[in-house]
């Protein structure tokens, strides 16, 4: 027998033993959410509820396995017949039994994302939409259609609200989606969205609903704040007979609206189920009181929420710090040096994380870490020099520098519409004959291409001519030209996050301005192994992550970077309905990842040398909750930037590599004078 009262705190125990009926468990960050839901399952099993009458829904296979493993540990036996898993895995099991009702035999195949896009791409070709016009990429259409289905919104509404720049393609995209659905049905295949859509469809059949909902006496949902409208509709149906639905979540951590998650599912739970009980878990076992005081203050600014004050079980420690830096370069220097100091003090790199609103915010840091030999892993995106658009830009620069670079030619030409492999070979042949790069645009090449390929060549030429004219100039200025070229149109028609990719290129330009010649810049990137991907790297590594990817995780020390207005909060997100509050929740999630130390950085200038205003989220914070410092030659922080001599044989490898680490304490003051 489990002693629930002894093993749980008062709030957790109350949710576990009084969880019948409709229950909302508001579980604040670090308050034992997983512990509570697994003890609730164990409690039901102890009370004699059969495992097959319990349904536990989660968002990831990892979470499902962890919860079921904990239940097994608590009860002493494996709950083999318990229905526990992700929404998609449970949908798959149910549709194998009931799929015939909607015309799907039990042996249907489930497509992964790549297969789904391949099938949709074949539909685009069948409809002859891959020809002369700049039709949206299959990635964009696939994501648009997926958002439509999960949000229960029409394609027209999604295009209008999320993709207004694609309005001229709306009818054609609808045709693609309709043909895609038809092809799947004919092939007896489903994609991930079909699993949920068809699950809801069969639940609309009264006989099927009775059979399924009758079986599940108790339905438990993890991370309810992350559910979309489709999932919420399924959950409501499943609990419609026995009326035992317990959902666990935290409205303050709802940060996935871009995936169609709807915070109103959790906010409106008491309204949708008027007799629902609400339990609050507010005792935090992760962070110091200093960090929680800051988190509580930040989230208190949101109006649409369930108010709650997290309370720490730990002793007070260092206050969170706001460090003002000159620009992304000095921000990177500060963080890298601070990481060195933390490592010297005995902290493992893996216990330290740098979190950011978007991956491009960490570009200067990645470059600085590579220079210093500090190993790191990137979560929530590829490392900077591994990203497709960065490789595109570097390939363009390589061509300007060396017009006979065949590998660069192939990569660049595949960007432009109408130029395939064989056409590229013709162009490369002409390039080999040319005395210099500019000679290619005098007329000889274009006449040898088809009309479709000529349009692609013209787009390429419009970029290449400008870059070639600036070939002997500063490499940063050469890259800047790309942001204003037709290459930006290519990114916008191919990727949803085109603006982020353009910001990547701007940051590359900012870095490249430190090099005198294009040849010097390209050589450094090619020759320094720090910029290349290392496979099977098992070293202790610093964690770099988007805040979205960090949710549910924790580190001893956390850096939250680039708290400048327009960057965090994100300027585009602020224009969306509810965007400001979601951005603030994102900031809250970042803060509550820290256990002991929290450092927040604010760069006064950006990659375009524009003056940054401080994030309004920082402006809102009470003065006494955060310690403000300036990096560089002013204030206390300057003492952390001496030249370091390392002689300890037990020091980490990256410290041994850098026997002397120099900094630029005067650079900050000089830059201020320039401003």
State the catalytic residues: 33-34, 222-223, 253, 593
Nearest CA to 199 out of 64, 62, 83, 101 is that of 101
Lookup: tokens for 667: 């650079």
Lookup: tokens for 525: 């990137």
User: 182: helix, coil or strand?
Assistant: helix
DSSP 343: H
Cα→Cα distances 165→158, 261, 378, 487, 491, Å: 12, 23, 31, 16, 13
Nearest CA to 339 out of 78, 570, 644 is that of 644
Cα→Cα distances 545→47, 253, 600, 639, Å: 43, 17, 15, 28
Contacts of 660 (CB under 8 A, 6+ apart): 643, 644, 645, 646
Please give the Cα distance from 33 to 284 (Å, whole number): 10
Using only the alpha carbons of the chain, give its radius of gyration: 28
CA atoms within 13 A on the CB side of 30: 27
Please give the Cα distance from 531 to 383 (Å, whole number): 9
Nearest CA to 103 out of 208, 178, 211, 187 is that of 187
DSSP 80: T
User: 86: helix, coil or strand?
Assistant: strand
**Percent helix, strand and coil across the chain, each rounded to 5?**
55, 15, 30
The count of residues in the chain is 675
CB atoms < 10 A from the CB of 613, how many? 11
DSSP 572: H
By CB neighbour count within 10 A (0-12 exposed, 13-18 middle, 19+ buried), where does 109 fall?
exposed
Nearest CA to 33 out of 550, 549, 551, 588 is that of 551
Please give the Cα distance from 478 to 487 (Å, whole number): 13
CA atoms within 13 A on the CB side of 501: 22
Nearest CA to 413 out of 397, 402, 427 is that of 427
One DSSP character per residue, 286-342 reads SS-HHHHHHHHHHHTT-SSS-----EESSPP-PPPEEEEESSHHHHHHHHHHHHHHH
Nearest CA to 569 out of 614, 622, 604 is that of 614
* Cis? peptide before 569, omega within 30° of 0: yes
The separation between CA 235 and the C-alpha centre of its own chain, rounded to angstroms, equals: 26
Contacts of 10 (CB under 8 A, 6+ apart): none
């Amino acid at each position: 027998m489990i002693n629930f009262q002894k093993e749980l705190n008062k709030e957790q125990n109350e949710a576990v033993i009084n969880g019948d009926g409709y229950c909302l468990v508001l579980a604040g960050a670090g308050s034992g959410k997983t512990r509570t839901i697994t003890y609730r399952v164990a409690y039901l099993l102890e009370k004699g509820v059969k495992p097959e009458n319990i349904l536990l829904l989660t968002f990831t296979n990892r979470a499902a396995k962890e919860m079921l493993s904990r239940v097994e540990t608590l009860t002493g036996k494996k709950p083999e017949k318990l229905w526990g898993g992700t929404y998609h895995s449970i949908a798959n099991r149910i549709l194998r039994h009931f799929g015939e009702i909607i015309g799907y035999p039990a042996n249907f195949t489930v497509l992964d994302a790549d297969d789904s896009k391949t099938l949709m791409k074949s539909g685009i070709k069948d409809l002859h939409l891959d020809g002369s016009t700049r039709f949206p990429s299959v990635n964009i259409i696939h994501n648009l259609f997926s958002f439509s289905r999960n949000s229960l919104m029409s394609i027209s509404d999604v295009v209008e609200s999320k993709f207004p720049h694609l309005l001229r393609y709306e009818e054609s995209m609808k045709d693609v989606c309709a043909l895609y659905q038809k092809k799947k049905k004919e092939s007896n295949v489903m994609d991930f969205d079909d699993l949920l859509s068809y699950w809801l469809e069969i639940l609309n059949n009264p006989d099927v609903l009775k059979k399924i909902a009758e079986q599940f006496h108790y339905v438990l949902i993890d991370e309810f704040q992350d559910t979309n409208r489709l999932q919420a509709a399924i959950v409501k149906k499943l609990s419609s007979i026995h009326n035992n639905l317990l959902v666990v979540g935290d409205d303050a951590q709802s940060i996935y609206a871009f995936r169609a998650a709807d915070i109103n599912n959790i906010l409106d739970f008491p309204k949708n189920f008027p007799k629902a009980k609400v339990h609050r878990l507010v005792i935090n076992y992760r962070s110091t009181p200093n960090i929680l005081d800051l988190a509580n203050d930040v989230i208190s600014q949101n109006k649409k929420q369930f108010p709650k004050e997290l309370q720490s079980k730990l002793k007070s420690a260092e206050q969170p710090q706001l460090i003002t830096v000159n620009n992304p370069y000095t921000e990177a220097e500060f963080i890298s040096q601070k990481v060195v100091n933390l490592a010297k003090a005995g902290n493992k790199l893996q216990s330290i994380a740098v979190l950011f609103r978007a991956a491009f915010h960490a570009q200067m840091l990645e470059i600085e870490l590579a220079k210093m030999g500090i190993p790191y892993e990137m979560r929530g995106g590829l490392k900077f020099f591994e990203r497709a658009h960065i490789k595109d830009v570097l390939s363009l620069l390589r061509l300007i520098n060396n017009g006979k670079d065949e590998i660069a030619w192939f990569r660049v030409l595949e960007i432009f519409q109408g130029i395939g492999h064989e056409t590229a070979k013709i162009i490369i042949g002409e390039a080999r004959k040319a005395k210099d790069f500019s000679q290619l645009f005098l007329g000889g090449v274009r006449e040898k291409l088809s009309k479709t390929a000529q349009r692609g060549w013209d787009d390429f030429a419009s970029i290449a001519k400008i870059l070639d004219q600036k070939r002997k100039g500063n490499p940063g200025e050469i890259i800047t030209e790309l942001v204003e070229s037709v290459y930006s149109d290519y990114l916008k028609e191919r990727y949803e996050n085109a603006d982020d990719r353009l910001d990547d290129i701007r940051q590359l330009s900012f870095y490249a301005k430190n090099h005198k010649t294009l040849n010097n810049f390209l050589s450094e990137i090619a020759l320094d192994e720090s910029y290349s991907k290392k496979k099977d790297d098992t070293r202790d590594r610093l964690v770099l992550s988007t805040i979205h990817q960090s949710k549910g995780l924790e580190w001893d020390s956390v850096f939250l970077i680039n708290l400048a207005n327009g960057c965090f909060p994100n300027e585009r997100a602020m224009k969306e309905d509810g965007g400001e509050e979601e951005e603030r929740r994102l900031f809250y999630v970042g803060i509550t990842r820290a256990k002991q130390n929290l450092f927040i950085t604010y760069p006064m200038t950006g990659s375009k040398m524009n003056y940054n205003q401080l994030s309004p989220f920082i402006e809102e914070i009470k003065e006494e909750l955060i310690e403000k410092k300036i990096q560089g030659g002013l204030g206390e922080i300057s003492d952390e930037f001496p030249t370091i001599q390392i002689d300890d044989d037990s020091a980490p490898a990256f410290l041994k590599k850098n026997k002397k680490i120099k900094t630029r304490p005067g650079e900050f003051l000089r830059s201020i004078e320039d401003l």
